[in-house]
Amino acid sequence: MRARTAIACALTALAVPGCGSSGSAPGEHAKPVTVALDFAPNAAHAGIYAARAKRLDAARGVRLAIRVPSASTDSLKLLAAGRADLAVVDIHDLGLARQQGADLVGVAALVQRPLASVLARPPVGRPRELEDRRVGVTGLPSDDAVLRAVVEGDGGDFARVRRVTIGFSAVPSLIARKVAGATAFWNVEGVTLRQRGVPIREFRVDDYGAPHYPELVLVTTRAALDAKRDLIGRALSAIRAGTEAALTDPAPVVDAIASASNADARLVSAELVAIRPALTPPLALSRTALERWARFDARFGILARAPDVARAFDFEALPRDRG
Query: d(Cα 198, Cα 191) in Å, to the nearest integer?
Result: 10
pLDDT of residue 26: 46
pLDDT reading at 72 higher than 80: no
Contact 124, 134 (CB under 8 A): no
Find the mean pLDDT for residues 249-275.
Answer: 96
Domains along the chain? 7-113+214-312 (3.40.190.10), 116-207 (3.40.190.10)
> What is the pTM assigned to this prediction?
0.89
Query: What pLDDT, in 10s, does the model give residues 264-321?
Result: 999 999 999 999 999 999 999 999 999 999 999 999 999 999 999 999 999 999 998 6
Query: d(Cα 146, Cα 193) in Å, to the nearest integer?
Result: 20
Query: What pLDDT, in 10s, does the model give residues 134-144?
Result: 999 998 888 99
The sign one gets for the Cα dihedral 177, 179, 185, 186 is positive
Average pLDDT score over the chain? 90
Closest C-alpha to 50, from 262, 250, 295? 250
Burial degree of 22 (CB within 10 A; 0-12, 13-18, 19+): exposed
pLDDT reading at 28 higher than 90: no
Contact 256, 176 (CB under 8 A): no
Report how far Cα 317 is from the mean position of its chain's Cα atoms: 19
pLDDT reading at 16 higher than 80: no
Query: d(Cα 268, Cα 271) in Å, to the nearest integer?
Result: 5
pLDDT of residue 29: 82
